[in-house]
Amino acid sequence: MRKPQGPGRKRVKLARRSVILGGSMAGVMGVLGWRMRQLGVEQSKQFRLLAEENRVNIRLIPPARGLIFDRRGAALAYNAPIYKIDMVREQAKDPEAVLRRLATLIPLSDAEITNALEQMAKRRAFVPVTVAQDLDWTHIAAVSANAPALPGISPELGHYRIYPYADDFSHILGRVGPVSDYDLSRIDDKDPLLLIPRFQIGKTGLENKLERHLRGSAGEKRIEVNSIGRVMRVLSREESSPGVNVQMTTDNRLQSYTLKRIKGESAAVVVMDIHNGDLLTLASAPGYDPNMFVRGISVDNWNALNTDKYKPLLNKTVTGLYPPGSTYKMVSALAALEGGFIKPSEKIHCGGYLEVYSHRFHCWRSGGHGKMDLHNSLKQSCDVYYYDVAQRVGIENMSAMARKLGIGVSHDISLPGVRAGVAPTKNWKFKTKKKDWVVGDSLNAAIGQGFVLASPMQLAVMTARISSGNKISPRLVNAIDDHPQPVNGREPLDIDPANLAHVRKAMFAVVNEPSGTARGSHIRAKGMQMAGKTGTSQVRFITKEERARGVIRNEDLPWDRRDHALFVGYAPYDNPRFAISVVVEHGGGGSRAAAPIARDVLKFAMELGEMDYKAPEKLSTTPIPLANKGDKA
């Protein structure tokens, strides 16, 4: 049986419990005190900074895009101010309700509200989203006056791109447009500017190729806002750095004239300065107005551009590849002369065709040309002469000469989509076609048919190198941010000057002597005589049956089955300055469709006189009025 405890024993236990409880309470209070001291003293700076972030916003300031000028200082792409409205989702609390209130003050449709909400949902809550733009000052004033009822809304001043010459430079300059999810997925660029909704970057052309130069870098402003997100004051501001200016080698007067001259055609014209490689004209027709894309192109306009059989979105000068036809005969002739396979005076008989292994290779003149030497073979564009030459020279030597003259190689001219063309070899055919090379392939290549492909720019380079005797390379940009870009290829070609002289003399005869294929396009003015070579590129197969009946004339065929018309040339003959190439898609004969264009454009270029650069530091940022478009000097 348990003995009852006395009063003394009970007092001892109570005192022990009080000590334990009191010690525990003291420990807890000590910990709380220590934590309070840590928060209030040791970490006060950190939490004060967090509190600052609740009332201070940091916003990026987009830079002005760099300007683009032609060689004379005419502005080809510049910026104009635009008022817009941005919204920050985390400040708005109920974005849709705020947008509905905003719609009572400015033009804002239900579709635009839905799009703005979708854009905000894709981005972090603190990232501003542009919900409206292209507003006038009355709209901005109304929004500012109602700021307390529009949390998260802020009026801003932005810029949009203007192309004053519209379609004249559409393929060279390209266009800008808002950054898309596709853009973000394919470019490795961590620039925070790309996350700003509706921020515009170069999509095509020079705008795309020189994007990092033209874009500039963002500025930053720290603003203080109250509890409803209204801006109270700007705490600090670091201005953005605008993109650098770019000066091109093109001349807006020559470019505008050329496009007027080929209006209505699907065509390409390239004019190149043979002294330094400057591309004075890269004209691709038809063009399009890049201004349509800056603020968003309509579905109807987009469909019209995509379904046009003349392909206005394609830059035919550097992306289009064509069989060069008889303009390639200078390549075959030089390969034969350099290899010692023929002599200029040697004559080859043309009876209208050459039969090789029971297959007939026809000349364009069914009755033949008779006996032809090098001079007359180019002057009258005899095919049989070059069929014979091809069997002696071989495809490897012909294609090596083509590459030496700029065909089959890619030229870096600061444009996207520049293609290398094809200067075929036996190994090339085996790799790409899984077939062996045959003699007929060489015969076709010798007259610029078969597998040979070249862009209009490459044909201009070929002509510039033949006329100058130098390895000159094409050049589209003269200066970036006042820093001149290099001129490449002034060293002599590895071709005997005597052989080049034979070819040049024959090219002069093509245009200026009786029976020359381009005699009808010669320039009479003294000191402006042109040398050149016509070409007709066959795009369909002519059967034996059709030849027996009589070959159908181009004008009697559907447009897309007609031959391409080509011409290459240079002027003045006595003191060469300009090289030109012309391709008229499905234009028929080169002498009829292409040579007259080359004559008119070269004559205009020579009449312009000096086309020297305006010094980059003197370039004006004031755009030339639209009324000056296409004015002659």
- Whether the pLDDT of residue 121 is over 70: the answer is yes
* DSSP sequence for 256-284: HHHHHHTTTS-EEEEEEETTT-BEEEEEE
Q: Helix or strand or coil: residue 572?
A: coil
- Decide if pLDDT at 62 tops 90: no
Which pLDDT value is given to residue 8?
A: 59
Comparing 61-70, 366-375, 507-516, the range with the smallest average pLDDT is 61-70
- Mean local confidence (pLDDT), 372-386: 96
pLDDT at 199: 81
Over range 415-437, report the average pLDDT: 94
DSSP secondary structure code for residue 487 in this structure: P
* Residues in CB range of 362: below 8 A, 6 or more apart: 352, 353, 383, 547
The mean per-residue pLDDT over the stretch 23-27 comes to 74
Domains in the chain, start-ordered, CATH in brackets?
319-610 (3.40.710.10)
Q: Which of 26-35, 150-159, 317-326, 487-496 has the lowest mean pLDDT?
A: 26-35
Q: What is the mean pLDDT of residues 540-554?
A: 62
Mean pLDDT, range 191-209, rounded to an integer: 84
Query: In terms of Cα–Cα distance, which of 329, 606, 600 is closest to 459?
Result: 329
Q: What is the mean pLDDT of residues 28-37?
A: 74
Residue with tokens 């349509």: 292
Integer distance in angstroms from the first to the last C-alpha of the chain? 130
Rounded to an integer, what distance in angstroms lies between the CA atom of residue 584 and that of residue 286?
A: 11
In 88-153, alpha helices (H): 89-92, 95-102, 110-122, 137-145
Least confident of 104-108, 156-160, 495-499, 548-552: 548-552
Rounded mean pLDDT, 334-338: 97
Could you tell me if residue 481 is left (phi over 0), alpha (psi between -120 and 50 degrees) or otherwise beta? left
Query: Picking from 123-137, 229-243, 395-409, which range would have the lowest pLDDT averaged per residue?
Result: 229-243
Distances (CA, A) of 193 to 64, 174, 219, 278, 374: 12, 21, 10, 34, 61
Is there a contact between 597 and 534 (Cβ–Cβ < 8 Å)?
no
Q: Which residues pair with 230 in a beta bridge?
A: none
H-helix or E-strand containing 519? none
DSSP secondary structure letters along 82-106: EEEEEE-HHHHSSHHHHHHHHTTTS
Q: How far apart are CA 334 and CA 405, in angstroms?
A: 10
Q: Which range among 17-21, 169-173, 361-365 shows the weakest confidence by mean pLDDT? A: 17-21
Q: Provide the pairing of β-strand 348-350 with 370-372.
A: antiparallel
Determine the Cα–Cα distance for residues 449 and 452; give it in Å rounded to an integer: 6
Please give the DSSP secondary-structure letter assigned to residue 470: B
Please state, as a whole number, how many other Cβ atoms lie within 10 Å of the Cβ of residue 588.
18
pLDDT tops 70 at residue 347: yes
Q: Which of 286, 283, 289 lies closest to 258, judged by CA?
A: 283
Partnered with residue 547 across adjacent β-strands are none
Q: What is the pLDDT of residue 349?
A: 96
| Residue 85 and residue 106 in contact, taking contact as beta carbons nearer than 8 Å | yes
Whether the pLDDT of residue 628 is over 90: the answer is no
Six-digit token string for 444: 């076709």
Tens-place pLDDT, residues 226-276: 655 555 676 777 777 888 999 999 999 999 999 999 999 999 999 999 999
Which position has the higher pLDDT, 396 or 547? 396
Range of weakest confidence among 39-43, 205-209, 555-559: 39-43
Percent of the chain with pLDDT over 70: 85
* Predicted pLDDT at 270: 98
Residue 6: what pLDDT?
60
Both tokens of 515, joined, read 């029976």
Task: Give yes or no for a contact between 523 and 529, defined as CB atoms under 8 angstroms apart.
Answer: yes
Give me Rg for the CA atoms of the chain.
Answer: 36
Residue 571: beta bridge partners?
Answer: 578
pLDDT at 157 over 80: no
Residue range 578-624, pLDDT digits in tens? 999 999 999 888 889 999 999 999 999 999 876 776 655 555 444 43
Q: Name the average pLDDT for the chain.
A: 85
pTM for this one?
0.81
CB contact at 8 A, 270 and 244:
no
- C-alpha 552/C-alpha 564 separation (Å) is 15
Cβ-in-10-Å burial (0-12, 13-18, 19+) of 174 comes to buried
Mean predicted confidence (pLDDT) in 495-509: 97
CA distance 456 to 463: 11
**Would you state the structure tokens that stand for residue 381, as one six-digit string?**
């564009």
Q: Which region holds residue 523: left if phi is over 0, alpha if psi is between -120 and 50, else beta?
A: beta
Mark out the alpha helices in 413-496 (DSSP H runs): 426-433, 439-446, 456-468
Q: How many CA atoms lie within 13 A of 308 on its CB side?
A: 19
What 8-state DSSP symbol labels residue 515? T
Q: What is the pLDDT of residue 622?
A: 45
H or E stretch at 362? strand 359-362
Considering only CA atoms, which of 404, 278, 290 is closest in space to residue 339?
404
**pLDDT at residue 372, rounded to an integer:** 95
pLDDT tens digits along 272-293: 999 999 999 999 999 999 998 8
Q: Are the C-beta atoms of residues 383 and 364 closer than 8 Å to each other?
A: yes
Cβ 160 vs Cβ 291: under 8 Å:
no
Alpha carbon distance 605, 251 (integer Å): 10
Buried b (16+ CB within 10 A) or exposed e, 411-435: bebbbbebbbbbbbbbebbeeeeee
Place of tokens 């009355």: 138
pLDDT at residue number 2: 53
